[in-house]
């Protein structure tokens, strides 16, 4: 229920941002998240936005890993919410069950506590 409510708030927030021109300021390149007003608007919501990974991880990876032709094709879709990226984490033997991820830490005395 929280996720559905947060997603509905997010959709409404984007509709409002578009209607009042958030993201059309100079230097934002139509990117709502780059608007100086966006953090204030987000802070008014009681729920986290379910698409923040889209803006924090997915879009920056498109920008940094795609060539100009790929960016021209994919960025408008990302910025206009017609394509929403996600983050998937897997580990051999566990699939995408993040709770079951395992790690091992080994102390090496010669490392002086991890200092280089």
Render pLDDT for 26-62 as a digit per residue (tens, 0 to 9).
666 567 777 788 778 878 877 777 777 887 788 888 8
Distance separating alpha carbons of residues 109 and 37, to the nearest angstrom: 50
Residue numbers of the domain that contains 18:
1-50
Same domain, yes or no, for 34 and 56? no
Q: Are residues 21 and 58 in the same domain?
A: no
- Check whether residue 62 and residue 110 sit in a common domain: yes
C-alpha to C-alpha distance for 12 and 104, rounded to whole angstroms: 44
Query: Are 58 and 101 members of one domain?
Result: yes
Using alpha carbons, list the distances in angstroms from residue 96 to 50, 66, 87, 88, 112.
Answer: 18, 26, 11, 7, 35
Domain count within the chain = 2
Residue pLDDT, tens place only, 59-107: 888 889 999 999 999 988 887 778 888 777 666 666 677 677 777 878 7
Note whether 25 and 68 are same-domain residues: no
Query: DSSP states of 41-54 as a string?
Result: HHHT-SS--TTHHI
Q: Are 66 and 25 in contact (CB under 8 A)?
A: no
Q: Does residue 6 sit in the same domain as residue 16?
A: yes
- Same domain for 41 and 27: yes
Residues 40 and 57 in one domain: no
């Amino acid at each position: 229920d929280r996720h559905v409510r947060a997603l509905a708030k997010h959709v409404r927030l984007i509709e409002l941002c578009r209607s009042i021109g958030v993201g059309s300021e100079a230097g934002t390149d139509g990117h709502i998240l780059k608007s100086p007003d966006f953090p204030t608007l987000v802070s008014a919501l009681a729920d986290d936005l379910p698409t923040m990974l889209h803006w924090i991880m997915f879009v920056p990876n498109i920008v940094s890993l795609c060539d100009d032709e790929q960016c021209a094709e994919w960025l408008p879709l990302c910025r206009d919410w017609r394509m929403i990226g996600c983050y998937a984490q897997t580990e051999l033997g566990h699939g995408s069950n993040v709770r079951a991820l395992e790690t091992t830490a080994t102390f090496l005395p010669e490392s002086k506590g991890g200092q280089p």
